[in-house]
Amino acid sequence: MKRRMNLPNKLTIIRIVLTIFIIFFLLFPFEQIGVHMPEYIIKFNAPVKIGLEYIISGIIFIVAAFTDFLDGYIARKYKLITNLGKMLDAIADKVLVNSVLICFAANNIISPFITVIIIFRDTIVDAIKMQAAAKGKVIAAITTGKIKTAAMMVAITLLFFSNLPFEFWGIKVADVILYFAVIMSLISMTEYILKNKNVFE
C-alpha cells in the first residue's frame, strides 16, 4: 500500500508548480499574440512604472515564498519531517529563486552575473551535500546560508514591485539587499567548502 504524501510535501510541490506560473508571466510574449499587458504609473514623490505581469508574478512569488515558511513550520510542529521532504524543499527553493533570477536577467532587471554567481554557488553547495550524503553524512544548513535565502526573498519581492515604496525617493533598497544576498552566497559557499572539504577525500 502506497503511503500518502504528507501536507508539508504537498505544499512544497505547490511551490514548484507556482514557479511555473511565475516563469510564464515573466517570459511569455503576450504582445506577439495580441494580448496587451498594461503598465501602471504610480505617482507619489516620483512616478514609478510597474507592469501587470510583474504584479501578478510578484503576488504568486509571495504565496510561493509563504509556502516555504509554512511547510517547514507544519513539518516541525507535527513531526512530519522526512528525508523526501528535506530533498523536495531544497529543490523547490532553488527552482523558485533561480528561475526568477534567470527571468529577471533575461528581462534586464538584474545583471546576468548575479544569476550566474547564485547558480554557481548552489551547484557547489549541492555537490558537497551530495558527496556527503553518499558517505552517509548529513550536512545541516548554516546561518549564512539562511541569511542569504532570506535576503534573496526580500530583494526579489521588491524587484517584482519596482522597489516600491523606496523607489519614490530614489533609494535602491532592492539592489542593496540583492548585492548583500550575493555576498552572503559567496560567504556561505566558502564556509561550506572549508567545513566539509574532507568529504572529497
Nearest to 43 by CA among 201, 168, 130: 168
* pLDDT at 179 (0 to 100): 97
Domain spanning 7-200, CATH architecture? Up-down Bundle (1.20)
Question: Residue 1 to residues 8, 13, 82, 85, 157: CA-CA distances in angstroms?
Answer: 21, 22, 18, 20, 42
Asked if residues 156 and 61 have their Cβ atoms less than 8 Å apart, the reply is yes
* Span 54-73, average pLDDT: 95
SS3 140: coil
d(CA 137, CA 130): 9
Nearest to 161 by CA among 46, 30, 61: 61
Give φ, ψ of 109 to 5 degrees: -85, -35
Phi and psi based region of residue 171 (left: phi greater than 0; alpha: psi -120 to 50; beta: remaining): beta
Residue type, 171: I
pLDDT tens digits, 184-194: 999 999 999 99
Residues 6 or more apart whose CB falls under 8 angstroms from that of 157 comprise 58, 61, 62, 65
Which of 44-53, 60-69, 78-87 is the most confident on average? 60-69
pLDDT tens digits, 127-170: 998 888 888 887 878 899 989 999 999 999 999 999 988 888 88
Q: Return the domain boundaries, the chain.
A: 7-200
d(CA 136, CA 52): 48
pTM for the model:
0.91
Question: Residue 177 to residues 102, 151, 157, 168, 174: CA-CA distances in angstroms?
Answer: 18, 6, 11, 17, 5
